């Protein structure tokens, strides 16, 4: 992400609390979209605002068509899943009323369409505010093409408003929540502030933490495949679309998500093309490609996450199962249901300790009395701490086996700290 200009951040630093409304019902959203759609009411002013006394300048026809397509997509989402309105959210969600309480605004970064600011919110800690980046490439290219800045800003606003609408409809811990918009379609998404996903750093973390990330991703994809809106595909599926929040993986960008299933007449119409592989899926009697959204998400998870994070330094007894997961998802023989089942099987084996191989009793060789002094500068990799060798073990016997296999290791201490699976954090010396 390139750093955004401070002037853009200053414009967001003082949002008018009275001007920010609560989340609208679907009927109100329909009226909002119609009012903001150029040509549906009074003309646009030269400065892009409605009701301006100066001569109106309508956007060109091609831009009107793009705005219309974005509007239809938004309204379809807002009225889908058999629900009559958008909820205001609950259970700790952030809303428009919280914006007046934010302090300490600072720029996090910017992309093609959006600007992200950091803010502090009393009682909620650090949050991220996402809005349309008026100086971004998305708006700039549109202006170069159509010559209508106000229409182009509105076109970009629809992308963020689509993301807000999706987040309102979806309930999953892998999704970031909190949003607000007003009648002028000034959209502000209020999100948990996460850390960028750095694959190089993840490769240096213990296997258990990498498995947790992959499992979190699989659970998210399972939810997206069976969501209230139907099967959802993440069209821009790359590690940069995800963040880490308190050690958990979350998707942070939903504006390129789609609920549309590809129509078809024959199987050849259902081709999934990737840089190194292509797959032909079944065309159903209903004229839809069977599971295309689900399979596209799953293969992207395989090529961006599973291949890098799953096999490296995995417990040897679990490697055959992990190999099966890699092969089955890499060939799309598994769907998301089978993939989740396979991950949960690995988790059960790991938490139960059944993955441990039978070893000779080594623990008594490492028994240490209270006056024992553990010395040494032993480090290992991957470790939970870069200052020493801190690993997770199922029991003291496993710790003894690990220490016995390392010539530099002289002793270990089993601590009271536990990992997310219940494994014991152990210091090796």
Residue numbers annotated as active site: 236
Closest of 193, 216, 218, 213 to residue 203, by C-alpha: 213
Q: Could you give the CA distance from residue 378 to residue 388 in angstroms, rounded to a whole number?
A: 6
DSSP helix, strand, coil percent of the chain (3-state; round to 5): 40, 20, 40
53 CB neighbour count, 10 Å cutoff: 6
Bridging pattern class, strands 187-192 and 179-181? antiparallel
Cβ atoms of 69 and 7 closer than 8 Å:
no
- Rounded alpha-carbon distances, angstroms, from residue 313 to 65, 105, 303, 309, 402: 53, 41, 18, 9, 13
Cis peptide before 382 (omega within 30 of 0): yes
Q: Could you give the CA distance from residue 233 to residue 224 in angstroms, rounded to a whole number?
A: 7
19 CB neighbour count, 10 Å cutoff: 12
Closest of 163, 167, 188 to residue 21, by C-alpha: 188
∠ CA 344-346-350 to the nearest 5 degrees?
115
Cβ atoms of 184 and 11 closer than 8 Å:
no
What DSSP line would sit under 370-406, residue for residue? TT---------SS-S-TTSEEEEESSHHHHHHHHHH-
Map residue 252 onto helix, strand or coil. Answer: coil
């Amino acid at each position: 992400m390139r750093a955004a200009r401070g002037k853009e951040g200053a414009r967001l630093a003082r949002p008018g609390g009275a001007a920010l409304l609560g989340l609208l019902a679907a009927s109100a959203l329909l009226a909002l979209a119609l009012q903001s759609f150029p040509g549906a009411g009074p003309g646009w002013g030269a400065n892009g605002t409605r009701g301006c006394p100066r001569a109106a300048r309508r956007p060109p026809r091609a831009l009107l068509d793009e705005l219309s397509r974005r509007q239809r997509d938004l309204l379809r989402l807002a009225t889908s899943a058999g629900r009559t309105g958008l909820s205001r959210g609950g259970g700790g969600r952030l809303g428009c009323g919280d914006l007046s309480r934010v302090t300490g605004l600072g720029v996090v970064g910017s992309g093609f369409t959006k600007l992200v600011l950091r803010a502090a919110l009393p009682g909620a800690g650090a949050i991220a505010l996402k809005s349309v980046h008026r100086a971004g490439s998305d708006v700039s290219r549109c202006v170069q093409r159509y010559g209508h800045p106000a229409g182009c800003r509105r076109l970009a606003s629809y992308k963020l408003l689509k993301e807000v609408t999706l987040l309102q409809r979806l309930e999953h811990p892998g999704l970031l929540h909190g949003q607000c918009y007003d009648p002028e379609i000034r959209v502000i998404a209020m999100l948990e502030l996460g850390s960028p996903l750095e694959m190089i750093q993840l490769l240096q973390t213990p296997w258990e933490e990498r498995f947790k990330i992959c499992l979190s991703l699989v659970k998210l994809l399972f939810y997206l495949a069976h969501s209230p809106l139907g099967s959802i595909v993440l069209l821009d599926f790359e590690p940069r679309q995800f963040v880490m929040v308190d050690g958990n993986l979350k998707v942070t960008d939903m504006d390129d998500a789609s609920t549309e299933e590809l129509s078809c007449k024959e199987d050849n119409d259902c081709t999934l093309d990737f840089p190194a592989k292509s797959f032909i899926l079944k065309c159903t009697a209903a004229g839809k490609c069977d599971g295309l959204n689900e399979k596209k998400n799953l293969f992207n998870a395989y090529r961006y996450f599973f291949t890098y994070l799953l096999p490296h330094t995995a417990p040897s007894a679990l490697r055959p199962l992990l190999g099966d997961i890699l092969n089955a998802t890499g060939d799309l023989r598994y769907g998301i249901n089978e993939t989740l089942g396979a991950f949960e099987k690995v988790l059960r084996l790991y938490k139960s300790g059944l993955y441990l191989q039978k070893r000779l009793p080594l623990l008594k060789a490492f028994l240490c009395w209270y006056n024992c002094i553990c010395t040494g500068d032993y480090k290992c990799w991957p470790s939970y701490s870069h200052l020493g060798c801190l690993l997770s073990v199922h029991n003291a016997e496993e710790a003894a086996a690990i220490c016995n296999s390392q010539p530099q290791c002289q002793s270990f201490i089993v601590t009271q700290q536990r990992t997310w699976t219940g494994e014991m954090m152990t210091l090796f010396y």
